[in-house]
Amino acid sequence: MAVQKVAVQKMKANGLGLAYEQIGRPGDTPVLAIMGFGCQMVSWPDAFCGQFADRGFHLTRFDNRDIGLSTHLTEAGTPEIGAVMSADAW
């Protein structure tokens, strides 16, 4: 089966735009692919995502805030990665 891929779309929530893409048939069981810190949705390879669609899943992958096509909060400055990753930040 050919993978059904929807063009990148954007949704807004709390003033932020999140870019996302859906692969597979909308009526199939949904799967949300959440990429790690600092990576774009395209870090999930098309072939990998297509395997979910081929097995009857409807996969959604997205760009986190400040990455890829989603809203970038440049006015907030650059985060200190060490502080973000440390237990002291919580």
Kindly report, residue by residue over 21-49, the tens digit of the pLDDT: 999 999 999 999 998 877 899 999 999 99
Q: Is the pLDDT of residue 90 over 80?
A: no
27: domain CATH number? Answer: 3.40.50.1820
Residue 57 structural domain: 9-89
* Domain annotation covers residue 74: yes
pLDDT tens by residue, 56-69: 999 999 998 788 88
Higher pLDDT, 29 or 79: 29
How many separate domains does the chain show? 1
Neighbours of 39 (CB within 10 A): 13
* Domain annotation covers residue 39: yes
Q: Is 3 exposed, middle or buried (0-12, 13-18, 19+ CB in 10 A)?
A: middle
Give pTM, 2 decimals. 0.76
